[in-house]
Copies of this chain bind each other. A is one copy, B any other.
Amino acid sequence: MVRNARGQVSEARSRLLTTATRLFYAEGLHAVGIDRIVAEAKVTRATLYRHFPSKDELVVAYLQAVAQADREGVDTALAAGLPAADTLRAIASSIAEGIRSARFRGCAFLNAVAEYPDAAHPVHQAVLAHRAWFLRTVTDLLADVGDAPPELAGRHFVLLRDGAMSSGCLADPAEVCDTFLQGVEGILRFRLDSVSA
């Protein structure tokens, strides 16, 4: 959270980012223009450009805000100190909950990449960074589930996650979640059943 010289969070900036986050996620990055964000956040263009030098940087800030929320969610699950398998179940459950929520519109990161396919673009880079964190986190947890190497399982988990996130608003969310959670359970069971006693 950016603070000004006096340690306060700028109210206007906060409102801008919240509004942009909502609109970008609901309607798309290119589909929402600066005018719209400014009007709905009730700030001026000067204020917007004071805080975000360009639209691209606002988009990156949006993705970083979503990433931060994701990381906090996972940190909460980790802090519960459950066994790794249960932590993974909690993470998966949280993903499923998001899919079933009323405002679900897919994965902000996958959606962003669809609109910014150039790998060198800062938006695309922000997505890659967040995904690297997620894969690593999941893989580390899976290392504590069974004793096989965790890399394939980690990728498998992420594959299921990506599939569920990308299709959750293109099919019945309940079915997508069910399929996803069963897939995760299959991964966990497979690893636990393969444990060398």
Residue picked from A135, A159, A164, most chain B C-beta under 10 Å: A159
A157 → chain B closest CB, angstroms: 10
Interface pair B170/A159, CB less than 8 Å apart = no
Q: Which listed residue (B31, B115, B127, B160) contacts A159, Cβ 8 A?
A: B160
Q: Name A's B-contacting residues (CB within 8 A).
A: 26-28, 30-31, 105-107, 110-118, 127-128, 131, 135, 152, 155-156, 158-164, 166-167, 169-171, 175-176, 178-180, 182-183, 186
Contacts of A180 in B (CB 8 A): 159
Interface pair B163/A158, CB less than 8 Å apart = yes
Copies in the complex: 2
Q: A159-B164, A163-B160, A166-B163 are in contact. Are A114 and B115 (CB under 8 A)?
A: yes
A28 → chain B closest CB, angstroms: 5
CA distance A175 to B158 in the complex (A): 12
A84 → chain B closest CB, angstroms: 20
Interface pair B113/A106, CB less than 8 Å apart = yes
Contacts of A164 in B (CB 8 A): 159, 163
Residue picked from A28, A164, A182, most chain B C-beta under 10 Å: A28
Interface pair A114/B111, CB less than 8 Å apart = yes
CA distance A69 to B23 in the complex (A): 34
Q: Which listed residue (B107, B113, B117, B176) contacts A27, Cβ 8 A?
A: B117
Q: Which listed residue (B115, B118, B179) contacts A152, Cβ 8 A?
A: B179
